[in-house]
């Protein structure tokens, strides 16, 4: 089982619950329609990785996401997550009306910073993703169509959540391809206070 870290402790998510199309500007940049209800899909535990990897054949896009750990049925910790996506594969599957797993659930498709306990209002959460020293993605609670508490309620309405499961709350605009050697720097803030950050170099 793959793990994530909370306060120097390893947790082993049974699954990662992902929210697609949760920021209007991201929906527009991909040319999609605004969904009438939350778009929910799953990444398996096997998708978790510590490294951000490019691919010899497939174009991999970064999608920076505020991510949460579930414990006792509640969101108790927050971290920075990368929902890595094989974009051309996803587009081809969507156009055929087929599921997304080949583009979203592959090994290495979920990469996280450490998680920290939530200390403060959810309303102040926001993220930044810097690539090679340039701010590429930024956004947070204010721009989410489905807020964290609403996401949790929606998911719990039809699916059991185990302690340690991760919820990824969607990505703001600015997604794009990663390349070998790119330097990524993800940050999560509450208002102007940095909660957690993580550096990666794409391998």
Whether residue 189 is predicted with pLDDT greater than 90 in this model: the reply is yes
Query: How confident is the model over 158-186, as a mean pLDDT?
Result: 96
Residue 36: its pLDDT value, please?
72
Distance (Å, whole) CA 138 – CA 3: 26
CA–CA distances in Å: residue 183 to residues 30, 49, 74, 141, 178 = 24, 17, 33, 26, 9
Q: What angle do CA 55, 60, 64 make, to 5 degrees?
A: 135
Residue 29: its pLDDT value, please?
67
Whether residue 27 is predicted with pLDDT greater than 90 in this model: the reply is no
Q: With H, G, I as helix, E, B as strand and everything else as coil, classify residue 138.
A: strand
Residue 32: its pLDDT value, please?
65
Q: What is the pLDDT of residues 50-100, one digit of tens each?
A: 999 998 889 999 999 999 999 999 999 999 999 999 988 888 878 888 888
Whether residue 31 is predicted with pLDDT greater than 80 in this model: the reply is no
Whether residue 28 is predicted with pLDDT greater than 90 in this model: the reply is no
Share of the chain above pLDDT 70, in %: 95
Whether residue 163 is predicted with pLDDT greater than 90 in this model: the reply is yes
- Grade residue 154 by pLDDT with cuts at 50, 70 and 90: very high
Name the fold adopted by 4-201. Answer: Fumarylacetoacetate hydrolase; domain 2 (3.90.850)
Q: What is the mean pLDDT of the chain?
A: 93
Residue 119: its pLDDT value, please?
82
Query: How confident is the model over 145-155, as a mean pLDDT?
Result: 95
More confident call, 97 vs 132: 132
Burial of 160 (C-beta count, 10 Å sphere; 0-12/13-18/19+): exposed
Q: Is the dihedral of CA 145, 149, 152, 157 positive or negative?
A: negative
Distance (Å, whole) CA 129 – CA 26: 14
């Amino acid at each position: 089982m793959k793990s994530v870290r909370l306060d120097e402790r390893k947790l082993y998510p049974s699954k990662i619950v992902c929210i697609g199309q949760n920021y209007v500007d991201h929906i527009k940049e991909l040319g999609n329609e605004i969904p009438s209800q939350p778009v929910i899909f799953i990444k398996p535990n096997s998708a978790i990785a510590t490294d951000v990897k490019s691919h010899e054949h497939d174009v991999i896009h970064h999608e920076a996401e505020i991510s949460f750990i579930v414990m006792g049925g509640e969101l108790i910790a927050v971290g920075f997550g990368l929902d890595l996506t094989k974009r051309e594969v996803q587009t081809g599957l969507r156009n055929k009306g087929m599921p997304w797993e080949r583009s979203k659930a592959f090994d290495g498709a979920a990469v996280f910073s450490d998680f920290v306990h939530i200390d403060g209002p959810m309303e102040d959460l926001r993220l930044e993703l810097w690539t090679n020293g340039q701010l590429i993605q930024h956004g947070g609670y204010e721009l989410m169509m489905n807020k964290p508490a609403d996401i949790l309620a929606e998911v719990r309405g039809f699916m059991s959540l185990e302690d340690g499961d991760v919820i990824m709350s969607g990505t703001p605009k600015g997604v794009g391809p990663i390349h070998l050697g790119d330097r990524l720097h993800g940050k999560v803030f509450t208002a102007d206070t940095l909660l957690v950050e993580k550096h990666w170099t794409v391998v």
